[in-house]
Amino acid sequence: MKAIILLFLLVDVGCTIAYIVNGVTSDDEMPWVSGWIVGPLTLLFFAPMMFGIARMTNGVSLSGGVHKSFRGAPLGIGRVTGVARTSLSVNDQPLMELDLEVDTPEGHTFRAKARQVIDFTEVGMVQIGATLPVRYLPDGRVTLATDAPQHEMQAAFDRVQLAKGLITPRQLHITDHGVEAHAVVLSMVPTGEVRGDRSVVHLALRVTRPDRTMFDLTQEKALAPDSITQLQPGSVTRVKYLPHDESEVVVLIPLKR
């Protein structure tokens, strides 16, 4: 973007000089139209606009991906607290500004803003309360981690949950070393208890083992709002458990990209 702006300005300055020279030497009755006004007005109106676009898109990949300054940056989990559309769009896709509350695997929480080109078909996913993986820099800048593989996003999410006390070390051990299976939600009954922004429920599951046999299990779970919608009775979800101890399962809720 900066290189484009510099090239634009160099061309514009050259055109301005040509206009001015033409205005001085021209026999037109209104030389100021061709030289003195047109060139300077281009500088006055278009150059600030270009610099404004550069400022608005600083640190943003206009393709919707991750800007090079964030490549390899650590992963955190951001909760959307505000959404606004900017005045810019790229290929008819809106450039959105997101207010985020970011949790890191080390247990730190900070507020940040991120600008991201969002496909129209995905705007509904980026709403207040949504949980999204982000990459963050030491200066507090963040961007959506659209480049991160699913397993890295899940690992970051698990470490954040552990740091916040929302899962236990045993549950993290099951996530890392357990056997993956599918389960049908038999029932989900709210207890009326709230932990942070999570509702505590009794979740009854029927788990299908890899050998196609089944076992039933009821557990108390603290669920985020977006998880509740994915765990309605009758829905199928991924879980992990330890083959030698089926007393607890970990429900795997996929993170949104």
pLDDT digits (tens, 9 = 90+) for 80-133: 999 888 888 777 788 889 999 999 999 999 999 988 887 777 777 788 888 889
pLDDT at 224: 81
* DSSP class of 80: E
Strand order in the sheet with 131-136: 109-117, 93-103, 75-90, 131-136, 142-144
pLDDT at 116: 83
Handedness of CA 35, 38, 40, 42 (dihedral sign): negative
pLDDT at 136: 95
Phi, psi at residue 166, to the nearest 5°? -90, -15
Mean pLDDT of the chain: 78
* Residues in the chain, pLDDT under 70: 1-65, 254-257
- b/e for 94-129, b at 16 or more Cβ within 10 A? bbbebbbebbbbeeeeeebebbbbbeeeeeeebeee
pLDDT at 33: 43
Q: What is the dihedral of CA 156, 160, 165, 166, to 10 degrees?
A: -70
pLDDT at 5: 45
* DSSP class of 227: H
pTM metric for this prediction: 0.59
